[in-house]
Amino acid sequence: MLVIAPHPDDEVLATGGVIQEHLRKGHVVKVLLVTCGDGQRRGLFLSSRHFLRLGERRYRESLQALQILGVHEKRVIALGYPDRSLMHLWADSSKPHTSPYTKACAVPYEWAYRPGAPYTHEALSSDLHEIMIKEHPQVIYLPHPRDRHGDHHAVYLFTRAALHKSGLHPQLRHYLVHYGAWPFPAGKCLDKPLLPPRSLQQGAHWITHELRAEQLERKCHAIHCYRSQMHYIEDHLFSYVRRNELFDLQPISALTLQREPRLIRLPKLLIGLRRGQSNALSRE
């Protein structure tokens, strides 16, 4: 299975429990980090070098957190595309985008999947397509199309387009991270269930993974690895530590993908989803 995370930490917040469940069942788990979170502004007058160091640091934090869950760093692929800029890449393919944070216009990290890849729509599409063909995942965890963070929405769009091009039909499980004050209440509530926002219930098909006690404990432990984030949004990070994790098999806005100026329709994928695998996560 493949987890596609826009930023380092999304993979553990949304899928930290289910990753362990897949590993327990002997599945191969791979994690794809699309950006390294190198656009997070915490202060004034920060240099491009600061943001590059932040990207490096957040990547290492993810490796450490995933190691706790049982995912070896060899199974983590970091693309190094620009944080907070993925919608720009989706919308504009004419010239490389320059990150307003790192000032880079190509992947600046030597440990990335393709160092020096230009920050363009084509480069990211091509990397995703290549990875899909090579890894041939049977299950993909990807951002929910109604996630309100632009990078999350863009990752959804890029992933669907890459799958369409590759002709693959994996099971798609969409996870939500940014949606107003959701999950509510904020902070660690180990005994509370994670429920979908009311406005995303109609027409959707949510499935749930109930975490075992040891999975919950390990997920908490892994979240502590994101030290660059803990200082600022500790409560928010722990809001995702609940009895269960949630995935939508059939998000409403998957019906069409809009990319100016052309419209891309994905009928084959949707047929695959509808036939899909209901409640495939329930305990065996």
* DSSP conformational letter for 25: T
Stretch binding Zn ion (CB under 5 A), from 3-11, 59-67, 253-261, 275-283: 3-11
Q: Where are the beta strands (DSSP E) in 15-123?
A: 30-35, 76-81
Strand partners, 212: none
Residues with Cβ < 8 Å from 20, sequence gap 6 or more?
A: 69, 70, 215, 218, 219
- In the complex with Zn ion, the residue whose CB is nearer, 49 or 148, is 148
Stretch binding Zn ion (CB under 5 A), from 9-17, 61-69, 75-83, 213-221: 9-17
CB of 10 to Zn ion, least distance (A): 4
| Cα 112 to Cα 91: distance, rounded to the nearest angstrom | 23
Q: Which two tokens stand for residue 29?
A: 């788990």
Taking CB atoms, the residue at the shortest distance from Zn ion is: 7
Stretch binding Zn ion (CB under 5 A), from 7-15, 64-72, 97-105, 199-207: 7-15
Q: Among 1, 3, 7, 173, which residue interacts with Zn ion (rule: CB under 5 A)? A: 7
- In the complex with Zn ion, the residue whose CB is nearer, 7 or 242, is 7
- In the complex with Zn ion, the residue whose CB is nearer, 145 or 168, is 145
CB of 168 to Zn ion, least distance (A): 24
21 binds Zn ion (CB under 5 A): no
61 binds Zn ion (CB under 5 A): no
CB of 39 to Zn ion, least distance (A): 11
CB of 262 to Zn ion, least distance (A): 27
Identify the residue whose tokens are 């798609």. Answer: 172
Site size for Zn ion, by CB under 5 A? 3
CB of 152 to Zn ion, least distance (A): 6
Find out whether 27 and 57 touch, Cβ atoms under 8 Å: no
6 binds Zn ion (CB under 5 A): yes
83 binds Zn ion (CB under 5 A): no
10 binds Zn ion (CB under 5 A): yes
153 binds Zn ion (CB under 5 A): no
**Binding to Zn ion (CB under 5 A): which residues in 174-233?**
none
Residues with Cβ < 8 Å from 83, sequence gap 6 or more?
A: 7, 35, 36, 37, 38, 39, 40, 55, 99, 101, 151
| Cα 142 to Cα 121: distance, rounded to the nearest angstrom | 18
- In the complex with Zn ion, the residue whose CB is nearer, 6 or 183, is 6
Burial of residue 93 (number of CB atoms within 10 Å: 0-12, 13-18, 19+): middle
Find out whether 278 and 207 touch, Cβ atoms under 8 Å: yes
Binding interface with Zn ion (CB under 5 A): 6-7, 10
